[in-house]
Amino acid sequence: MGFLTSLILMFWVGWVNSYLYRKFLRKRNKDWIVFLAVISILGFWIIDSLIYFEIIDMTWLNFLPWVDIPMVDKGKYFMWNSFIVLGLDFGITHQPGMEIIEFFLLISYLFWYYFGSKLGKIFHGYRTYQQGHYMIIRPVKRYIKDREKRNLKEHKE
């Protein structure tokens, strides 16, 4: 999938998972958000590692007239130039020392997923009764009532 495209996709997967969690899964089990996160991130890491180590051969994309993936280091070339499918070839070739950058890019998938899910929760709402970006404009009355109930329970204990 490529390093840059995977970062963008991880953000959107986090966004969509926060919506699915708030809309469908929170009512049943609160642990689903962790399960979705682990499956999503591991899936991206596995697919990108398979492409990088050339287990998945990306030269099949050469049938497109604007794609020219070289036969040497084809997985590494595709991972750095994944926008080649859209017609943008940056021409980045693998050089010694780039493994450190690649490692940090793979680890940053966690942060991009987290950023997408947190931003998604702002727009989708943290609770099941909150509806969309309405939360940005003003708090939901039911949320305020729940907060007051929690405060009363804390004072009683």
Residue 153 lies in a domain: no
Q: Cβ distance 41 to 110 under 8 Å?
A: yes
- Domain containing 49 equals 3-124
Question: Tens of pLDDT along the chain (157 residues)?
Answer: 788 899 999 999 999 988 888 777 766 677 777 888 899 999 999 999 998 888 888 878 878 888 878 777 888 888 888 888 777 777 787 788 888 998 999 999 999 999 998 888 878 776 655 566 655 555 555 666 667 777 777 777 6
Residue 144 lies in a domain: no
Count of domains in the chain? 1
Residue 49 lies in a domain: yes
Residue 117 lies in a domain: yes
Residue 104 lies in a domain: yes
pTM of the predicted model as reported, rounded to 2 decimal places = 0.73
Residue 21 lies in a domain: yes
Residue 62 lies in a domain: yes
What is the rounded distance in angstroms from the CA atom of residue 120 to the CA atom of residue 19? 7
Q: Cβ distance 137 to 130 under 8 Å?
A: no
Residue 18 lies in a domain: yes
